[in-house]
Structure 1
């Protein structure tokens, strides 16, 4: 790879998640075919939970609380980064953002309410329109911006038929002028089977609007859909993938969480991408940092909103301008009748920002109205007997959000077990542990939050294999009782990370998972197992017990991580701000 070591995060997986969550109000019930607060500045603050922060010289006033082995309490600037942002710990009173972070001294919170039992898997498209899960009939995929070295490699969308007794008829369309034309399919997909659609490269490079830039995927029965960018990660070292949310689950209130720009000899940007599913969609974007101009996208200082207009299938990419910045804390808003999809991505990036090797990241984000308050932070698998750290981001959408962490003493890297975040603020921590207690913990909040986990680069101490990968975790409120996942044959190591209520029986392909594999997460009442899985399709079933699954694979200079599925009930129907 030019100017870099080999690396990647090929999400060569397809995870099929069966199921819906509880019958909450749907995010979007209309058929459109025919997840910084209302931060006054729009700035994201990266918050040091120990009470200190680093002042960044950009207008975003970002700080970095990374506590990984490569981090001594200052900003990870990376070997190529000459931006003078690494100023060391400072009192938060010097932070130029509109919000401060203070450490709470309150007691442990107990605000979580158990969700009702999940409804049946949608068996037809009318049921799927209720928007309660990632099983649906209409999706839009995007060939997202990646490293120039793989920009024109094979992009693909994969679909999985989660129905037990129905054949799905699936087609992929591309917009040609003002009309859609079928470019692949119709394809018959048998029950509990999958199909892969290899599609022409069609990416937007850097900031700009691309008319008809999305692919439209439709099915006559509910399915799961994923995109792979590129599909052959083993040879590219730069692949990633995204679970696609069906259109009825899209939101009109979206906050962006993601990682930063790096330089591997060429600047590799961080960006957000917006997709419209209806003509006449007006989108207001408030970037948290200075962003670049492009076709139809104006240059924008941090915190200054701009509006764009999109039609069905149009995409808009907004890219950062400056080194060592990301778009965390940016807001993407539309009206309730025109919800949008929002992706967070990096062309290629280091995690930590000074540790090789770089890798493409992408994730379709859940809208804010789907966010929860209770998480089991089940980390990516350790890659050695002396666990490497993994990066966690905890992001608040509302002011005065109290975060409480419950963990075993062996879990390291968390400077404070209780702290407060304001709207648009994020804390970033590198968490490790021991071979017996590798670094899982419980997160509770009194207001909705987002929690993301990242695998670090292969040169992070204790790693030696793999590269950056990105997952937005599902809150306990959105856990499902059954998943169908597919692991392809590209990776040396494939693992199912399972978080369950303690003792709840979970089967893998009909056989009970060994209880001895589960490690309790402090006194949370939950436990986590990391179960090696073979290539192919797998069914994980908890009967009436809701649990979570993340599928992770890693190889030399490669890794992928993918949420096995999630409920999409509107559990935060009236976000503040």
Structure 2
């Protein structure tokens, strides 16, 4: 198959990136090709030439050996065994195995959830949530205070008027201290940015403090919208949530945000879930965001696009082009899912999957919104460890929903310890397969050139006395695990827990301790395949803290890569039927050489 011009440019750019980010093939790192089995990414198979089938281009033009690399948190140069060779100063960051005087540049080259340049957009909601409080969280993961700049549609917004440093008072109440632009966000702190809220006529809980804009910044169904631009002077991790306000806000969902350095030019569209069978207007949604002017986006829809809001209708299996300027996002919301549709662009873009309000299963009460910013095709894994949230009923093993989306035809799947009932053994490009199982399990394909997507779902709360409600979260492949996370758990949820998965050291064959700052070293580890997992309560019942932990800023670390997912839901009478979830962080380095072009098969 001959590469199109965009694919050739993409290939050259990625090859240059891979050469620039050479890493040690024997180190314990999220870049480690053996952290999840098959060798991939820069340490993957060499070779050249075009190839592939089923509308896929396999680009294998790179391959590097064992050498010094950067630590996972970008603060040091490390050798093949993870030993520090050169500790960078706080004003420096590690890039290409060197300490450089620009930590933001170092973060840009790392292609992880660390970054200095983010965009936040309000995803689709049902009319009942019109004007809902839209907020972003910015966590300072660096060793120096971080300063914020925020804008929208080219207009600067003063964060001193809408950014706050949250803390939990002695009585358990949330205290919001105004952000001081002179001091910034201190080390290990999190700032909440209340970005928008249309206060007049809103049906959901207002922001607890004034927002940057007193207007609705989302798009109704299908149309073009404008995102918020958030930049910092040192690397951070960012998330967004809508509505903010937890149990009393309803229809809430959240996502980890990817910095622009982790954006790419090739994605698979993934909606949050299928249309509801209970509510007529509860449809899946997709948002595509540009951060450069004159960005051309091509979508090959596997369902006809209905159109609306200035977006024309288009036929199924016929490429359609869109032009976006910096900060603009295209939103497509309709009854028919576009999940599995290839997306390509001539400049890096972000893609968000969403739902106005999803029922999981589609006929089970109640509904909740869903949103996740998606990883590019090149960052998808070929192995995942699936561990669901803790059971909502004591003594009852809960079953949850899982969804896979294929990227390459001929992908074969193996499962351990056993294949779940209803789980597939093969999956093709763009194919969407769903099954129910309590887990845990490990699923992998035959090699790195057969990546796929895995999503985890919380089901509706009706069978559990309305505790929790539907939610959706990306499952992070072990190759993209990090060694440190600074995150924020929403203090308005009475039940919050973490799902933690850790990998063995390839040099010692042992697992390393994982430490949660409020609790200390984690215990309760259980085996699943070659990995271990544990579930950790932060608060439970009616906001009761557990083992010294409570909601708010959290820090986690280990000497080896691990993954962490946050789950929060309502349990009290005022907080029923709500939930949220997001990965605490992830790498987004290319770990396969697959391109899925938007050309009909």
- Per the TM alignment, residue 117 of structure 1 is displaced from its structure 2 partner at its CA by 7.7
- The answer for the alignment partner of 2:537 in structure 1 is 532
- The answer for the alignment partner of 1:392 in structure 2 is 402
- Per the TM alignment, residue 305 of structure 1 is displaced from its structure 2 partner at its CA by 2.0
- Per the TM alignment, residue 286 of structure 1 is displaced from its structure 2 partner at its CA by 1.8
- The answer for the alignment partner of 2:579 in structure 1 is 559
8 Å CA contact 1:457, 1:463 repeated in 2: no
The 3 A distance-change label for structure 1 pair 38 and 204 is farther
Give the whole-Å Cα distance in 2 for the aligned partners of 1:270 and 1:38. Answer: 29
Give the whole-Å Cα distance in 2 for the aligned partners of 1:350 and 1:288. Answer: 22
- The answer for the alignment partner of 1:133 in structure 2 is 112
Deviations 1:21-65 (A, max 9, x none): 43967xxxxxxxxxxx99679xxxxxxxxxxxxxxxxxxxxxxxx
- The answer for the alignment partner of 1:121 in structure 2 is 73
- Per the TM alignment, residue 527 of structure 1 is displaced from its structure 2 partner at its CA by 1.6
- Per the TM alignment, residue 552 of structure 1 is displaced from its structure 2 partner at its CA by 0.6
Mind listing any 5+ residue stretches in structure 2 that lack a counterpart?
1-27, 33-40, 43-51, 57-64, 75-92, 94-102, 161-179, 197-215, 505-510, 539-549, 571-575
Give the whole-Å Cα distance in 2 for the aligned partners of 1:155 and 1:531. Answer: 28
Which of residues 137, 150, 153 is equivalent to 2:132? 153
Matches within 5 A, 1:10-49: 21-22=30-31
Give the whole-Å Cα distance in 1 for the aligned partners of 2:253 and 2:66. Answer: 34
- The answer for the alignment partner of 1:167 in structure 2 is 145
- The answer for the alignment partner of 1:448 in structure 2 is 451
- Per the TM alignment, residue 536 of structure 1 is displaced from its structure 2 partner at its CA by 2.5
Matched, 1:331 2:342: yes
Figure out how many residues of one structure are paired with residues of the other and give that number. Answer: 451
Deviations 1:275-329 (A, max 9, x none): 0010110001122222221234221233222101011011101122x4xx42211
SS at match of 1:334: strand
Give the whole-Å Cα distance in 2 for the aligned partners of 1:114 and 1:355. Answer: 52
8 Å CA contact 1:396, 1:426 repeated in 2: yes
8 Å CA contact 1:138, 1:218 repeated in 2: yes
- Per the TM alignment, residue 514 of structure 1 is displaced from its structure 2 partner at its CA by 4.6
Give the whole-Å Cα distance in 2 for the aligned partners of 1:265 and 1:527. Answer: 39
Matched, 1:214 2:230: no
8 Å CA contact 2:515, 2:522 repeated in 1: no
Deviates more, 1:466-475 or 1:477-486: 477-486
- The answer for the alignment partner of 1:242 in structure 2 is 255
Matches within 5 A, 1:147-546: 147-164=126-143, 166-175=144-153, 179-185=154-160, 187=181, 188-200=184-196, 201-210=216-225, 213-258=226-271, 259-320=273-334, 322=335, 325-335=336-346, 338-384=347-393, 385-407=395-417, 413-416=420-423, 419-432=425-438, 439-446=439-446, 447-460=450-463, 464-501=466-503, 503-509=511-517, 512-515=520-523, 517-521=524-528, 524-533=529-538, 534-543=550-559, 545-546=560-561
Give the whole-Å Cα distance in 2 for the aligned partners of 1:454 and 1:117. Answer: 36
Give the whole-Å Cα distance in 1 for the aligned partners of 2:435 and 2:137. Answer: 33
8 Å CA contact 2:478, 2:503 repeated in 1: no
- The answer for the alignment partner of 1:105 in structure 2 is none
Give the whole-Å Cα distance in 2 for the aligned partners of 1:20 and 1:157. Answer: 28
The 3 A distance-change label for structure 1 pair 228 and 422 is same
Give the whole-Å Cα distance in 1 for the aligned partners of 2:569 and 2:349. Answer: 32
8 Å CA contact 1:519, 1:528 repeated in 2: yes
8 Å CA contact 1:135, 1:246 repeated in 2: yes
Deviations 1:232-261 (A, max 9, x none): 132221111121100011010010223111
8 Å CA contact 2:72, 2:483 repeated in 1: no
8 Å CA contact 2:456, 2:472 repeated in 1: yes
The 3 A distance-change label for structure 1 pair 265 and 511 is closer
SS at match of 2:109: coil
8 Å CA contact 1:40, 1:303 repeated in 2: no
SS at match of 1:133: coil
8 Å CA contact 1:22, 1:117 repeated in 2: no
8 Å CA contact 1:20, 1:566 repeated in 2: no
Deviations 1:496-523 (A, max 9, x none): 10111364311121765353x12211xx
8 Å CA contact 1:173, 1:184 repeated in 2: no
Give the whole-Å Cα distance in 1 for the aligned partners of 2:236 and 2:133. Answer: 23
8 Å CA contact 1:233, 1:240 repeated in 2: no
Give the whole-Å Cα distance in 1 for the aligned partners of 2:520 and 2:189. Answer: 23
Deviations 1:72-97 (A, max 9, x none): xxxxxxxxxxxxxxxxxxxxxxxxxx
The 3 A distance-change label for structure 1 pair 450 and 184 is same
Higher normalized contact order (CA 8 Å, seq sep 6+, divided by chain length): 1
Give the whole-Å Cα distance in 1 for the aligned partners of 2:328 and 2:512. Answer: 44
Give the whole-Å Cα distance in 2 for the aligned partners of 1:317 and 1:266. Answer: 19
- Per the TM alignment, residue 441 of structure 1 is displaced from its structure 2 partner at its CA by 0.2
- The answer for the alignment partner of 2:589 in structure 1 is 569
The 3 A distance-change label for structure 1 pair 199 and 514 is closer
8 Å CA contact 1:505, 1:512 repeated in 2: no
Deviates more, 1:448-457 or 1:192-201: 192-201
Structure 1 ranges of 4+ moved more than 6 A? 37-41, 113-118
8 Å CA contact 1:383, 1:464 repeated in 2: no
The 3 A distance-change label for structure 1 pair 463 and 540 is farther
- Per the TM alignment, residue 229 of structure 1 is displaced from its structure 2 partner at its CA by 1.1
8 Å CA contact 2:377, 2:596 repeated in 1: no
8 Å CA contact 1:208, 1:295 repeated in 2: yes
Give the whole-Å Cα distance in 1 for the aligned partners of 2:219 and 2:466. Answer: 33
- The answer for the alignment partner of 2:22 in structure 1 is none
CA RMSD of aligned residues (A): 2.6
SS at match of 2:248: helix
SS at match of 1:129: helix
The 3 A distance-change label for structure 1 pair 250 and 38 is farther
8 Å CA contact 2:516, 2:522 repeated in 1: no
